[in-house]
Structure 1
Amino acid sequence: MKAQWLQYLKLGLLSFLGALLLWIASATPSQSHWADLSVAEIVVGQTKSDLTLTFPTGLTAFADDDRNGKLSASEVRTHQSQLQKFLSEQIRLVSRNDRDGTLTSVQPFDAQPSAQATLPTNLPIAPDTHSTLRLTYTWTQPIQALTVNYNLFLPGVSTASCLATIRQDQRIQTFVFSPDNREFSLQPSAWQQIWSFLGLGIEHILTGYDHILFLVSLLLLGGGLKSLLKMVTAFTVAHSATLSLAVLDLVSLPPQWVESAIALTIVYVAAENFWRKSVKGRWQLAFGFGLIHGLGFAGILQEINIPRVHLALSLASFNLGVEIGQVAIVTIAFLGLRQLRKMPWEPYFRRWISAGIVLIGLLWFVQRTFA
Structure 2
Amino acid sequence: MRFAARWTLLWAWCLLAPRAAQAHPIEARKGTLNLLDRAAYLVVSLPVSALDNVDDDGDGALSPAELEAHAGAIRAQVIAGVQLLGPDRALPLHLLMLDVTPPEDSPGLASRHVVAMGWFDLGGASAAQAPDGPALREGLRMRFRLFGKDSAQRELDLTITRQQDVQWVRFTPERSEHRVLPSSVTLLAEYARIGAAHVLQGPDHLLFLLVVLATGWGWRTLLAALSCFTAGHALTLALCVWAGWSVPAGVVEPAIAATIVGMVAFDLWSRRQARAGATAQRLALVFLCALVHGLGFAGALTGLTRWPAGSTQMAGALIGFNLGIEAAQIAVALLAGATVQVLRAVVGQGAHRWASNAASATALVAGTWWFLERLGLQP
Task: Identify whether the pair has TM-score above 0.5, normalized to the shorter chain.
Answer: yes
State yes or no: 1:205 paired with 2:199.
Answer: yes
> Which residue in the other structure is 1:336 paired with?
339
Alpha-carbon separation, structure 1, partners of 2:291 and 2:85? 44
Contact 1:243 1:298 in 2 (8 A): yes
> Which residue in the other structure is 1:317 paired with?
320
Alpha-carbon separation, structure 1, partners of 2:315 and 2:254? 28
How many Å apart are 1:150 and its aligned residue? 3.8
How many Å apart are 1:267 and its aligned residue? 0.9
Q: Once the two structures are superposed, what CA deviation does each residue of 1:57-97 show, in whole Å capped at 9, x if it has no partner?
A: 9xx696899xxxxx9546997998666534523543379xx
Contact 1:176 1:193 in 2 (8 A): no
> Which one has more relative contact order, counting CA pairs under 8 Å at least 6 apart?
1
How many Å apart are 1:164 and its aligned residue? 6.5
> Which residue in the other structure is 1:17 paired with?
none
> Which residue in the other structure is 1:193 paired with?
187
Alpha-carbon separation, structure 2, partners of 1:356 and 1:133? 49
> Which residue in the other structure is 1:50 paired with?
43
How many Å apart are 1:213 and its aligned residue? 0.6
Change (3 A) 1:348 1:313: closer
1:123-272 aligned at under 5 Å gives the runs: 135-138=116-119, 145=136, 148-151=140-143, 165-173=159-167, 184=179, 188-272=182-266
Q: Once the two structures are superposed, what CA deviation does each residue of 1:236-285 show, in whole Å capped at 9, x if it has no partner?
A: 01110110001124533222111111100011212334343377222222
Question: Which structure shows the higher helix fraction?
Answer: 1
Alpha-carbon separation, structure 2, partners of 1:113 and 1:321? 45
Q: Once the two structures are superposed, what CA deviation does each residue of 1:13-70 show, in whole Å capped at 9, x if it has no partner?
A: xxxxxxxxxxxxxxxxxxxxxxxxxx9853317673124689xx9xx696899xxxxx
> Which residue in the other structure is 2:10 paired with?
none
What is the one-letter code of the residue matched to 2:364? V
How many Å apart are 1:134 and its aligned residue? 5.8
Q: TM-score, normalised to structure 1's length?
A: 0.63
SS of structure 2 residue aligned to 1:192: helix
Q: Which runs of 5+ in 2 are unaligned?
A: 1-28, 106-111, 125-134, 146-155
Change (3 A) 1:306 1:111: farther
Q: Structure 1 stretch 243-252 or stretch 359-368: which is displaced more?
A: 243-252
Aligned residues: 298
Contact 2:235 2:294 in 1 (8 A): yes
> Which residue in the other structure is 1:298 paired with?
298
Change (3 A) 1:259 1:99: closer
What is the one-letter code of the residue matched to 2:308? P
> Which residue in the other structure is 2:365 paired with?
359
Contact 2:169 2:178 in 1 (8 A): no
SS of structure 2 residue aligned to 1:335: helix
What is the one-letter code of the residue matched to 1:290? A
Q: Which runs of 5+ in 1 are unaligned?
A: 1-38, 66-70, 115-130, 154-161
Q: Structure 1 stretch 139-148 or stretch 241-250: which is displaced more?
A: 139-148
Change (3 A) 1:183 1:254: closer
What is the one-letter code of the residue matched to 1:323? E
> Which residue in the other structure is 2:80 paired with?
89
Q: Once the two structures are superposed, what CA deviation does each residue of 1:133-159 show, in whole Å capped at 9, x if it has no partner?
A: 865333699996567444558xxxxxx
Q: Once the two structures are superposed, what CA deviation does each residue of 1:346-366 show, in whole Å capped at 9, x if it has no partner?
A: 334532432222111111111
